[in-house]
Each structure stands twice: as C-alpha cells, then as structure tokens.
Structure 1
Amino acid sequence: MQTFFIKNLDCASCAAKIEKELKNAPGVREVKLSFALNTLQIDCDDIESIKALIARLEPDVTLSEKKEKTYFFNSQFFLLLGLVALFLTSLWVFHYIEGAQNYEVFFHIFWVGIYLVSGRNVFLGALRSFKKKEFFDENVLMLSASIAAFCIGAWEEAVSIMLFFSAGEYLQDVSVKKSKDTINAATLDQTTIAHKIEGAQVEDIDPKELKVGDEIVLYAGEMLPCDSTLLESSASFNCAAISGESLPCDFSKDSEVLSGSIALGSAIKLRILRPFEKSQIAKITELITNASSQKSYTENFITTFARYYTPIVLALAVLIAIIPPLVFGESFEEWIHRALVVLMVSCPCALVVSVPIGYFGGLSAASKNGALLKGSNYLEALSKLSLIAFDKTGTLTKGVFKVIDIFPAQGYSKNDVLHYALCAHNLSNHPIAQSIKSAYEELSHTHHVSEYEELSGLGVRAVCDNHEIIAGNDKILHKFDILHNTCHVEGSVIHISVDKSYLGYILIADELKNDAIEVLHELKNMGIECVMLSGDGKYPCEVVAKKLGCEYYHSLLPQDKSRIFSELKARVQNKGKGKVAFVGDGINDAPTLALADVGIAMGGGSDISHQNADVILLNDSLGTLLKSIKIAKKTKIIIYQNIIFALAVKGAFIVLGLFGLANIWEAVFGDVGVALIALANAMRCLKL
C-alpha cells in the first residue's frame, strides 16, 4: 500500500466520488481515502494512471508524498479582501455621494469586473460540472443565481452573491484544511528524522531507512521512531501517545521501548528492535487512518440527505419564482428575488463537512486517551450502549494470580502436586501458569515435556518423563474420566492428575483492577447494564460479582460465552434500545468479540482478540473504556448540534425568503456563517 497526501480536496462528496471511481479502476486492488486526514492509501499497478483519473474527476486535486502547510494569509486572501473593500466602498459612493448615480453605467461596469475576478473559480467549477452533467453542483447554483439577479436588474445583489460566496468558500476551505492539519497533528505525530550512530559520528536519516540492530540516539523531547531496546542503564519516557498514560514511564537496560514514546531528560541510546513499518506507532497510525473508511450511520445518512436536499431546495426556489406571478399575478421581479434568497441556502456544506470532521475529532480524542477505534461507526455505537459484558480474568481483574494454598489428595504431598503442576504448565504463558512458576521458582526440576496441548476453557494436557499430566478445572477431570471427590471446591482451583490418578488441587486468587468498582458504578449510573461472563468456577465469579454489583455467568466454555452473549444481545434488541459490547483479552474471547456490536479488546490481550475487536484499549485500563464512552456521547451531541443548527438556520432563511423578510445579502452571510460555526463546533470533538 502506498500512502499519499491529497491537495485541494475540500469537499466530502468529491472525496466519496473519487474513492468510488478508484475502487472500480483497472489495476487497483485496494483503496482507502480519508477526507478527514486528506490521505489516500492505494495498492495499484500504475500510480500515474491513478493520478490521471483523479485529474479527470477533480482537476484541482493532486497527490503528494509530503504534507504541505496551510497558510491563511495568501494571495487569494488579499485579492478577496481587496475586492470586498472596493465593492463596499463603491456601494457607499454610489448611494451616499451626491450625483454618483448619474454615472450608474460606470458603476455597473466596475461591479461586473469585480464579479468576473472574484468568480473565476466558480466559473471554472461550473464549466466542469456542466461537462459532467452535474447540474446540482454549488458552483452551478451560484452562477445561475447571480445571472438571474442580473436579469431582474439586481446588480448589487448579483455581485454580492458571487463575491461573498467566493469569500465564504475561501474561509471554509482554509478552515477545513486547518482542521485537518490539527487532526493530523493529533493522530499522525511521527518523527521525520532518526539519529543513527555510525562509529563516532551521528547521521540524520529517514526513520524508514533504519534496520534491525542499528543503534540510534534520541534527544530529550524527541519521539522514538521504531520499537527499540534500551542501551542505557535506565531512562524515562512519556508514553502518552501509545498508552494514554500521562505519567512518565521508567525503563531499565535491555527493556523494550515502543515507538511513539518521547524521551525525557538527557540523550538516550537505543538499538532498533523492529523496522519502522512494523513498529507500534506505525500500527496505531494505520488503524487511525483506516478508521475513517468505516463511516457511521449518521455520516452515511448525511451523505444521502445531501444528494436530495439540493435538488429539493432548487425545485422549491423555481416554484417560488414562477407560481405566484403566473397564478396570482404577482411581480416576477419580486418573487424571483425571494427565490434567490431560498437558493442561497441550497448547499449542504455545513453538514457534509462538519459531520466527518466531528467524528474524526472524536476518534482522535479517544486515541489520545489510549483507545483505538477502527471506525466512526464504532464511536457512534459506543454512544448508544445499553449493555456491556466483561470477561473476568485480565479484564475486570489484574490477571496476576497468587497461589494461596495446596491441597494434596491422600497419599501425596504438596511438593508432589507442585512437581507435576510445574511440568504441566512449563510451556504455558497463561497468567495462572505464570503464578505457579513465579511462586515456586526455588523448586528445581528438569522438564522433559514430549507432548503439550492447551484445551480452551478446560486446562492443559502434557506428557513429561512419560507421565500424562492433566491440569485444569473440574471439567477437564470429567473429560478425561479422572475419579475425584472435589467437584465443588470454592475458589479458583487447578486440579492435578498424573496417569489418571488424582493428586490434589492448588487454590489461587486474582485481584480486581483498581478502577473496576468505580468504572462499573459509573457505567450503571449512565444507564449501561454490566454483566460478567467467565470460564472460572462459581465461587470466584460470585466474589467478584458481589464486589462489582453486577450480574454474572460462570464456568463458561468459549461456545457457552458466545451463546450467553447472544441471548443478552437478543434481550436488549427485544427491548428495542441500544447496542451491546463485549470486553475481553484472550483467545477464547475472540468469538464473542466478533458477535458484539462493539468488540473491545484489552491492549495486553492476544493478537486474535485484537483482530476481532473494534476497539483496542492500549493501556488495559477500564477507565479508558469509560472515557471513550463519554467521548462518544459528547461527540454525538456535538454532531447533532451541528445538524439541528444548520437545518434550523437554512429552514429559517427558506421561510424568511418565502415571505420576503430576508434579502440575498443576509442569505449569503447566513449560509457561509452556519458552515464556519458548524466546523468550529465540530473541532471541539478533538478536545474532549
């Protein structure tokens, strides 16, 4: 996939049109276009043919490998400012200087000059739209409106339509570009230079040129470009970009430091562990960039609405212009003037620009807090949650188990149970296995494991020194027909058997995460039902559920989790309200994550859970989940504010225009103003 920055793309509908055409172009295997980030990711055979296709669709749009800065005060700004000043001055002279109206012809010629200069981009845009038979383009509409104004002798209004529309378009374009630059700065903040150590010299190179094993130096305040190993005895980094954690993180020698971390203090030496494209910050950036291709229901609705809004308003304006004069004998000049006021609000720019910008601002705000969402559709779904189901171990609890006690069967010792427990779990990375290893590191034993098998939701089976060892919950004993009399032990239990003989069990315990009680309490206050689904036994689940005050289901295999979750989802759907989410971290959670409206994976979980998840909590914090839901709800409010505000203002001008209570000047300023205000309001999402 090649990534390009798109220049001069200021129209959301144009972006959608380009993306649609590129997907159907020959030689294109995959394409993702982000209007919010002005980026194009494409996998194709011939990029030059793609550039040519884009030029045919939108002649002003070009591709660049480097992002360019947006400047507010440029030649276009000063030209429009000068034209506005000249026009307003000429109006004052014409109306307030005695005898000036005797030179009306000269003023008309002067105004036509202002009209032609200010509207040159509108004329070119309208010409391209005519060639493509797109008659509802805003340039065509404004050109038609200004010509109609000239035809009824409204010279001042005709020039004001073109001049102030062009000025408004300039302000809107610059505002959109500035908004995108702000979002880019918040989401794609990557270092552009790496300081590679070459002998006694330090060479500045592109981070993409770094190779595994290269040594670099990172100065205070700089961002680490690639995942690396620390060569210093110790160092501190700001890891907020990748985890949302604002406190400094301390690392010791040979520790892995993820890209995106910012150096604190003095210069730091590191060794590259992974190349740029496989490092953490590159993966995060790719996820954020791809998120814009997954559009929310509201975005899709606004896109569809915009296709019908303009033709309907145009038809209404035509009816206003012709029906009263033809049916009631009213003045054509008066009703055409009123129709032009209505026509001024026929462009839905305030909606089609501010809505995607608002959603992407929300996605960026969530990412800054440590939550990666794979699309604005999931941000919208988070705002509508009615129920969240949680896995227990590693999600609600720390996943750090401690061995509490060992209960050997008659004829065996505690060391016998431990001996074989260590054999069975020697190849496992499960938190329970790690707790057994770490608690009894002093127990020396050489393992000769010839067979090893993890049984999802049950435990493990291993063959060590020709002895078959079974270790897991009560279900695994029944699966292998092992006789025992400890079916109803309270607590988290690891049963051990060797060669079909039951040796006893180990009692372990897990701790709740520090913020679990507070987060679930606040979720319930927000009207979100919380349920715990766990593969653990009844006793440990009951203890945790009582502390959290939530409904729970215990002793669930992966297929049981999926079945129970489907029932919970159906329960919510039958009530006709909201969405459901599942939060988990393990391989056994992947099927349930895929069933959820919003699948949420903890950052420290398995790769499979990440692949099936729609949201990834990079810092494993339940507080980040709560913050993300709040961001989603606030983003939704801001988006709805923009929709209601824009439609209300446009509706008001349609009514005022119909009754002759608003003039063309006011309609132009109202249309431009509502777009700028909606855009400014949408940018609040970035600061949530």
Structure 2
Amino acid sequence: MGEEKKDILLQGLNCASCAAKIENEVMFIEGVENVTLNFVSSTLSVEYEDGYNFNTIFNEVKSIVKRLEPHVKVKLKGEIENHSHDHSHDHGHDHGESNSKLNYIRFGLGAILLFLTFVVKMNPNLRAGLLLTSYVLVGGDVILRAVKNIARGQVFDENFLMGIATIGAIAIKEYPEAVAVMLFYQVGELFQGMAINRSRKSIKSLLNIRPDYANLKVGSELNKVNPEKVNIGDIIVVKPGEKVPLDGKVIEGNSMVNTSALTGESVPRSVNKGDEILSGFVNENGLLTVEVTKRFSESTVSKILDLVENASNKKAPTENFITKFARYYTPVVVILAALIAIIPPLALNQEFSEWTYRALVFLVISCPCALVVSIPLGFFGGIGAASKAGILIKGGNYLEALNDVDTVVMDKTGTLTKGVFKVREINTNKDLSKDELLRLSAIAEVHSNHPIAKSIKEEYGKEIKEDIIESYEEISGHGIKVKIEGKEVLVGNSKLMTREKIDFEKVKTDGTIVYVAIDGNFAGNIIISDEIKEDAHSAIDNLKKVGVERVIMLTGDTKEVAESVAKELKLDGFYAELLPDGKVEKVEELYRQESTKGKLAFVGDGINDAPVLARADIGVAMGGLGSDAAIEAADVVLMTDEPTKLATSIRIARKTKKIVIQNIVLSLGIKAVVLALGAFGIATMWEAVFADVGVTLIAVLNSMRALRVD
C-alpha cells in the first residue's frame, strides 16, 4: 500500500517545545506513517497510508492542537488565508506576537506597583498587598495556563516551571523577587518572540520570488490574474520591472532580465524572441510577450520555493539529537530540583526555605527553548542563504553533511568543461572527401542528443533527410551503426572500431576523436574539442582551500582528453572511458579506499549521471536551472553552471554548523554554570531567568547570522 502526504499550517505556533509535543502526538494517530513539524514555517507534514480518510486524520490533528495549544489555528496548506490579519495571540507561547494593548497595560501597571514598593515607605502589609497585586497583573496568565496545561496532562512546560518557581518564592516571602522575575520573564518572552518573527521574516524575504500576478493576454486585452489560473499555451505579457510569473518561451520582444533571485548572479542576461524564460526572473527594461510552457505548480519558481520551504523537514543529525536531548533534559532537572529541596535540609539539618529557593532557581533554568528554537532557525537560515547564492540544498541533513566532504568526484563534460563541442579537424583517407565523411557522420547521428553528435550536425549545417536511413542501431558506450544509401556506416569511439574488427590507427590528441568506418573499412576521423570553463581552475583551488583532500574526475571521454584536462586543472586523479555503470563502480572503489574518512560528493549534470548522484553521500547537480531531472536527482543543486559554487556551499555549511555549535555551547554552558551556582546558593532567580529567556534571545539573534552570504 502506498503513502500520501498533506501539509497542514499551524498559524500562531511559536513555542518550539509545544511543537515537539504536537509532532509526537500526531505520530500516534491511526493511519499516520510519518510526521515532520517544520517549526520555521509552522508546517506539519503528515504522511499517511493510501486509502485512509484524511479528513479523519485532519480532525484528530485539530483536536490535538486545540488541546495542547488552543490559540493555534489549523489550516490545510493551500487554503486562502490572510496571514497578515491573524491576531490570535491569547497564549503565553506567542513569544511577543501579541500586540494587545491590554497586555502592555498589565505589564506597565505591574512594573509601576513594583517600583512603588521600592521607593515609597509603607506598611509591610500594604507593601505585601501591592506586590501580590503586581504579581497577579504580571504573571496571572502564566499561572492560569499552567493550571490548564496540568489539567491536560502537560506538566513540564515553562508555564509550570515559572509558576512553581515564583509561587515558591512568595511562599518563602521573597515577594519582590517573585514579581520582578515574572516581569523579567514576560518581557524576555516578548523580545524573544520579536527575534523569532524577525528571523522568520528574514528567511521569507530571501525567498521573495513568488509572483503576485500574471498579465494574461486575451485577444487585445490584458487581464491581471493569479498565476495559478494560467494554462499551458496561454499568452502572458511581462512589463518592465515585473517578475516573470511562469516558465515560457518569448514570442515577441527582447529585454535584459535579472536572474539573481534564482541564480545569485548579479549580471543581467539578455533574452530575445525564441528564448526560454523562467519564472522568478525580473524583467528590467523591454516588454516581453511569453507563451506559457508550464503550469505554475510545475514552474521553476514553484519548485524552488517548495524545495527550500520543505528543506527543514529533513533534519540534520544535530537537530535530531537536540530534540531527543530536550525530551529528557527538563524532567531530569525537575527531579534534581526536588532532590535539592528535600535531601540537603534533611541530611545537613538546615532550613528548608534556603534549599527550596535553590531548587526553584534550578527549575527556572530547566526550559530548553534556546536549543529547540535556535538550532532549526540556524539550519534554515543557512539553507536560505545558500538559495540566495543560487544553491539549492534539500535539507538540513545535507547542509550538515557538506561539512565533512573530503572527496569531490566531478564529471568532466558540462561540469569542468563547457560541454559546447566544436569540430576542430576532419581527417579522411584518399578515397573519401571531408564533406562526404561529415555528411555521412551527421546522418548517422541524426537521432542522438549527445553534445558530440550535436556538434557534428551543427558543423554539417544542412537539413538531414531521415528517409535515406535504412537501419539504425545505437550501441551503448560505443557509438552508432547505421545503413545509409546501401552503405554500412560506423560512427563512434575506438571501442566501436575494435568491436566491429575495423583495422584503424588510434589517434592521440587532447580532443575527442570520433572514428568513422564505411562498409568495414576505416574511412577517417573527426576531432572535436571542448573548452574548460573559465572558473574551473578557481573551483578546484577553492575546494582545496576549504579542506577538500581529493578532487577526482570521471569521464566517458578518452584517456588522452581526460589526462589533458586533469593536468591543466591539477586534479588529484581521473578515470576515463567510463560507461554510466562504470562511474558507479569507480565511486564504490573510492569508498573502499582507506584514505576516504569523510563524505564523498559527486558533481554531475543530474540527468545522465543520476545513478552516481544517488550513490554518492551528497549528489550535486550542475546547471540545474530549469532542469526537472537535475532537481529531482540531486541533494544539492547549483543553479548556474559555475563549479565554484560547490566551495561556496561548503563555506555556508561550515558557517551554519559553527553558529549551531556556538548556540549549543552557549546554551548548555550558561545553564550548567547557573545550575551549579544555584545549587550552591550563589545564583538568584535573576540569573536563572537570564539563563532561560536571555540565552534563548541571544541564541536566536546569533542564528540570524546564518542568513548572510559572506
């Protein structure tokens, strides 16, 4: 039985620990196979067994969310929603999204009453009354939520921890501290929420490539419509300054287009009549009339947005570790707090109030929000920064894996070389003219889309009549055997000549040699050359600079050509004359070598190299712009034909991992120090709240640095 997948939007979900609870409970719904909650985009992805009624599952999801997080709105992704007018902020985990004047008034009045008790001399009972009133104003909603959550079976959340800590402080008559800590906590939550929302908006702004409308041409009129309403074959008009809404072909006009949103390239490119144009480009000057070739759901911009928005569903190992760690961390700290409150006073015959206070400090620190919130934001920020640079990374797991790449295996044609072949030389025997050899070769290659075949046909430059072909056989990895006008023509590499027992002389040159035989006799050869890409040298240098130990080239081309390219680019090795399955075997061989300790990345075109892309630890597709096969096959897609972007992706990955590690060390380090200080009675509630809310705020702000492309 197969599986289906639906995405559910949880609007207003801003508590990472609550998100983990929802994800865990939805997993146990009958019929659900897998669940991933993307905290960054507030999207719950549910995979369920084919045949199950999704409405039943959806209703159960709504029931779980309502029980755990009553303020969150549950919507199926795709439903028309005006997100900007979502004002459901009646929950303490809204982390500052609530702009309710009532909340500001409550906090303000509470702060004023607290201030008065410090500066005005008054009766102790009146002072206690004002402080308790201030406490109710500032923290009443936290206590109410804690009670409701306990009734729902949710004990160990931050409402409970803050509630019991501050009520405990009141019980030991530390009234000012109880109020001040609750006020600091609420204000901290407010700023923390602002930081999270800012981070989310920054990520979304990086991906602000979705078109708002399309100018649909109907007769002589232009109608502004939703791009999703446009069909294949419809005509749209793109005015200067507008985004290209759908993939298509220019049928009228010419202009310069800005491709930076998709490719990271700052230099505009020219488009003219007959050229392909992709959604996400921005038209800079001319008026373009475009015939639509893909529906919006299949367009380049739609696929890129879907890939990047769902990248957080593939969690990095570090994220998975932190999720498991947080599950056990809070209960363990609560148990330790209880032991601190009970055992030392009994064992040492000391006051319970002193050790209770220390236990309360312990409780305040225990919330793992800093880790649970900042780490997914860090990885998503790295993925967003990469997309801005024209690099699509399909998940946090691949982003983290890029840190450990020590071997890069690269295809030659189209990766290190331009893949634009040109006929450089034609050599024949005395019985055949060069033009006739070229004509027969072009006819033989008529059905092939290989770059070498295209170069022969382009050099011939005349219309080819297929009806003169009497038989046609393509021999994989060798060439073509065809009968033309009664003549048996062989066009291919040296292996074809050997296979067909043709007596020929093997040529050594730095170009690709196509051998031709007619009626069993060697007729001559065509030498075709390919150029090395301008940035291929810097690509190899940059890979070495970021710590890649070996760069190996695989190619189906001759040993002479491969050796020439490898020598010029100073590669660490090469393997030539490989069939597609031979490339997989060579990658397997590289895995078996003891020197390979890290990850192996393979860089190819994403179409012919799909088996190798799948086998490698990280499959990287070159020039994936507009190529469905490349986007499907690879884990990382370099949207332009620039191999230098592989090193850029590794640098982004390492910067992201560095930020994530900083957040882990910062969060756990400060918590450990304050926990120790609290246990020895040195740290107060103030330090404890900073170790919770303050550290989370710092960690979230630090995560935002991953959004920048250095």
Q: TM-score, normalised by structure 1?
A: 0.92
Q: Deviations over 1:426-468 (max 9, x none)?
A: 1111111111122221587666445545444333344444544
Maintained 8 Å contact 2:606/2:624:
no
Q: Which amino acid aligns with 1:257?
A: I
Change (3 A) 1:324 1:455: farther
Change (3 A) 1:128 1:595: same
Q: Which amino acid aligns with 1:494?
A: V
Matched, 1:406 2:426: yes
Matched, 1:473 2:493: yes
Change (3 A) 1:33 1:214: farther
1:390 pairs, out of 388, 410, 419, with: 410
Matched, 1:654 2:663: no
Task: Tell me the equivalent position of 1:61.
Answer: 72
Tell me, in whole angstroms, the C-alpha distance in 1 between the residues paired with 2:449 and 2:545: 37
1:671 pairs, out of 692, 705, 708, with: 692
1:545 pairs, out of 534, 555, 566, with: 566
Change (3 A) 1:302 1:87: same
Change (3 A) 1:111 1:7: same
Tell me, in whole angstroms, the C-alpha distance in 1 between the residues paired with 2:129 and 2:68: 40
Change (3 A) 1:74 1:53: closer
Q: Which amino acid aligns with 1:288?
A: V
Q: Which amino acid aligns with 1:63?
A: V
Matched, 1:366 2:366: no
Change (3 A) 1:62 1:460: farther
Task: Tell me the equivalent position of 2:156.
Answer: 136
Task: Tell me the equivalent position of 1:536.
Answer: 557
- Overall identity of the aligned pairs, in %: 41
1:34 pairs, out of 35, 38, 41, with: 38
> Secondary structure of the equivalent of 1:552?
strand
> Secondary structure of the equivalent of 1:260?
coil
Maintained 8 Å contact 2:364/2:688:
yes
Change (3 A) 1:21 1:98: closer
Worse-matched range after superposition: 187-196 or 243-252? 187-196
Deviation at residue 276 of structure 1 after TM alignment: 0.9
Maintained 8 Å contact 1:37/1:183:
no
Change (3 A) 1:216 1:392: same
Q: Which amino acid aligns with 1:614?
A: D
Task: Tell me the equivalent position of 1:45.
Answer: 54
Maintained 8 Å contact 2:254/2:270:
yes
> Secondary structure of the equivalent of 1:404?
strand
Maintained 8 Å contact 1:649/1:670:
yes
Task: Tell me the equivalent position of 1:426.
Answer: 446
Q: Which amino acid aligns with 2:275?
A: S
Worse-matched range after superposition: 79-88 or 673-682? 79-88
Q: Deviations over 1:211-230 (max 9, x none)?
A: 12323333333212111222
Matched, 1:642 2:663: yes
Q: Deviations over 1:53-104 (max 9, x none)?
A: 5434532222343352389997646444444433333233223322343523
Aligned-residue Cα RMSD (Å) equals 2.8
Worse-matched range after superposition: 226-235 or 446-455? 446-455
Which segments of 5 or more consecutive residues in structure 1 lack a partner in the other structure? Answer: none
> Secondary structure of the equivalent of 2:14?
coil
Worse-matched range after superposition: 346-355 or 54-63? 54-63
> Secondary structure of the equivalent of 2:409?
strand
Q: Which amino acid aligns with 2:291?
A: R
Q: Deviations over 1:275-329 (max 9, x none)?
A: 1111111111121122111111111111111112212222222222222211111
Worse-matched range after superposition: 367-376 or 186-195? 186-195
Tell me, in whole angstroms, the C-alpha distance in 2 between the residues paired with 1:432 and 1:583: 21
Tell me, in whole angstroms, the C-alpha distance in 2 between the residues paired with 1:343 and 1:24: 30
Which segments of 5 or more consecutive residues in structure 2 lack a partner in the other structure? Answer: 48-52, 88-94
Change (3 A) 1:660 1:203: same
Task: Tell me the equivalent position of 1:277.
Answer: 297
Change (3 A) 1:75 1:277: closer
Worse-matched range after superposition: 440-449 or 644-653? 440-449
2:375 pairs, out of 325, 347, 355, with: 355
Q: TM-score, normalised by structure 2?
A: 0.89
Tell me, in whole angstroms, the C-alpha distance in 2 between the residues paired with 1:229 and 1:202: 18
Q: Which amino acid aligns with 1:356?
A: P
> Secondary structure of the equivalent of 1:460?
strand
Matched, 1:568 2:590: yes
Maintained 8 Å contact 1:490/1:539:
yes
> Secondary structure of the equivalent of 1:671?
helix
Deviation at residue 387 of structure 1 after TM alignment: 1.0
Task: Tell me the equivalent position of 1:171.
Answer: 191
Change (3 A) 1:34 1:105: closer
Tell me, in whole angstroms, the C-alpha distance in 1 between the residues paired with 2:358 and 2:596: 45
Tell me, in whole angstroms, the C-alpha distance in 1 between the residues paired with 2:617 and 2:267: 33
Deviation at residue 631 of structure 1 after TM alignment: 0.9
Worse-matched range after superposition: 509-518 or 408-417? 408-417
Task: Tell me the equivalent position of 1:201.
Answer: 221
Maintained 8 Å contact 2:114/2:180:
no
Deviation at residue 533 of structure 1 after TM alignment: 1.2
Tell me, in whole angstroms, the C-alpha distance in 2 between the residues paired with 1:215 and 1:330: 84
Tell me, in whole angstroms, the C-alpha distance in 2 between the residues paired with 1:34 and 1:275: 27
Matched, 1:522 2:542: yes
Maintained 8 Å contact 2:479/2:492:
yes
Deviation at residue 122 of structure 1 after TM alignment: 5.3
Q: Deviations over 1:542-587 (max 9, x none)?
A: 111111111212122222221221222233xx45742110101164
2:116 pairs, out of 93, 97, 100, with: 93
Deviation at residue 204 of structure 1 after TM alignment: 2.2
Deviation at residue 356 of structure 1 after TM alignment: 0.6
Task: Tell me the equivalent position of 2:133.
Answer: 110
Worse-matched range after superposition: 465-474 or 522-531? 465-474
Matched, 1:160 2:183: no
Q: Which amino acid aligns with 1:555?
A: E
> Secondary structure of the equivalent of 1:229?
strand
Change (3 A) 1:640 1:82: same
Change (3 A) 1:161 1:95: closer
Worse-matched range after superposition: 352-361 or 641-650? 641-650
Task: Tell me the equivalent position of 1:11.
Answer: 15
Change (3 A) 1:460 1:634: farther
Q: Deviations over 1:320-345 (max 9, x none)?
A: 22222111112211111122222211
1:215 pairs, out of 215, 235, 240, with: 235
Change (3 A) 1:308 1:368: same
Q: Deviations over 1:493-522 (max 9, x none)?
A: 111234443322211111111000011012
Deviation at residue 244 of structure 1 after TM alignment: 2.0
Tell me, in whole angstroms, the C-alpha distance in 2 between the residues paired with 1:487 and 1:167: 78
Q: Deviations over 1:184-238 (max 9, x none)?
A: 2222531222222334433222111111232333333321211122243211211
Tell me, in whole angstroms, the C-alpha distance in 2 between the residues paired with 1:319 and 1:622: 58
Tell me, in whole angstroms, the C-alpha distance in 1 between the residues paired with 2:608 and 2:561: 19
Maintained 8 Å contact 1:456/1:558:
no
Maintained 8 Å contact 2:437/2:524:
yes
Maintained 8 Å contact 1:581/1:597:
yes
Alignment size in residue pairs: 683
